Structure 1
Amino acid sequence: MDIDLNSDLGESFGAWRMGDDTAMLDVVSSANVACGFHAGDPAGILATLRGAAERGVTVGAHVAYPDLAGFGRRHMDMASSDLRAAVIYQIGALQGLAAAAGTRVRYVKPHGALYNVIAHDERQAQDVIAAICAIDPSLALVVLAGSPLTAWARAAGLRTVAEAFADRGYRADGSLVPRSQPGAVLHDPAAVATRMAQLVREGTVTANDGSTVRIDAESICVHGDSPGAVAMARALRERLTADGVGVRSFMDAEEGVAA
């Protein structure tokens, strides 16, 4: 049994530091690297990509709305032409930096508000899908497990990767608890590790109302910007290893690369 662990990295900006990319890259198997629209500056992004290349961590483009002030967490009703161009621009920029770092971009994971919007909004979802197909249709798309986005992306020929969140609360319908509500972000490493062990073993998580929700996921995200993120990721990986679960990139799993 294997599972991918991913984290949002490359999000520091100038003197403003976000997370500990070096430590997190020693734990995760996939890195969602910021592309400069919600966070990240070129030098910091390049350093993160080099760290990923050194450790054999798979790299994905963490594309977002152009929202540095709001860290990409504010909904934007962008015109289709603007959104498609923005996604192409971000992927292309990261591909260039990745090549310089000795690695390559293998997948796309939208960030923040864009991620949540395209999980259910078909118009913006199709814009993101069209952008990926235009620049590199071999890229996989990370999607919220159980969301309509999965079918839309597959219909366009994209490979999808269903994702669960280690440090986010779930509602009874399988959606994430909004960050504005209590219980949206979880902070106890041991509790999170136990919760994700249940996910891998049984394919379920406990929702915020106590109900059991079915989540079929190939990858688990630990947010790099959460307090204690590295400790949480380490606790999760240690628990999975103790349970006999291998941690490797979903791209390696697809290609049959040994863990």
Structure 2
Amino acid sequence: MTVTAPTTAPPAIAIAHLEVRRGGHQVLQDISLTVPRGSITGLLGPSGCGKTTLMRSIVGTQILEKGTVTVLDEEAGSKELRQRVGYVTQAPSIYDDLTVTENVSYFGALYGASAAEVETALAAVGLGSHARHRGNQLSGGQRTRVSLACALVADPELLVLDEPTVGLDPVLRADLWEQFRALAKQGRTLLVSSHVMDEAEHCDELLLMREGRLLAQLSPAELRSDTGESSLENAFLKLIRMGEEL
């Protein structure tokens, strides 16, 4: 599917004054942000800063204490979004005793997807040649790509990907980011989390988090310009220091 959005389209995600508390601990603190349609937005920050909780809030699996989360003009988690939003968690969500095709077909059946749509999803992640391999025969990178195909088979407008490249070697990481860019060129919106700052280079916009707070929303070029640093990792660290000095 190629999704064509008018230039005046509302954002794919709009969050206002979001707060989440778990076990008496404030996990997210007054988060407000927007994610433009047809783009790759990187959600970056150290492990434990609240990225997964924010993503869970967006896909509607997290109880909110305060604030609003609007996704594709609907309340997050509403039934109208079930086929419009794809979510890939950190742990690959596939069955080891099923083949690649059987895994994607199983998830596709939940959305009434045809066999041709299953093949299209597999081709989109470059796994057509592994269609008959069982889940327990795949590498870590291949398992991640099967999870992505399971999300793509619903033909979603928005993909929420929680650290999809963690633990992968540089070649596999580069391959996945090429696939993400191809999906964005089709008009899909991608929100991709990572704790590796060099992955920010692949994103159109960045959401930088620390300790449950949103430090900034800006492009990689703007981050460099605002901090005077050429390295995005150094720029992020300088942004933190600048915030501490305020």
TM-score range (shorter-chain normalised) is 0.3 to 0.5
Say which structure, 1 or 2, has more relative contact order (CA 8 Å, 6+ apart).
2
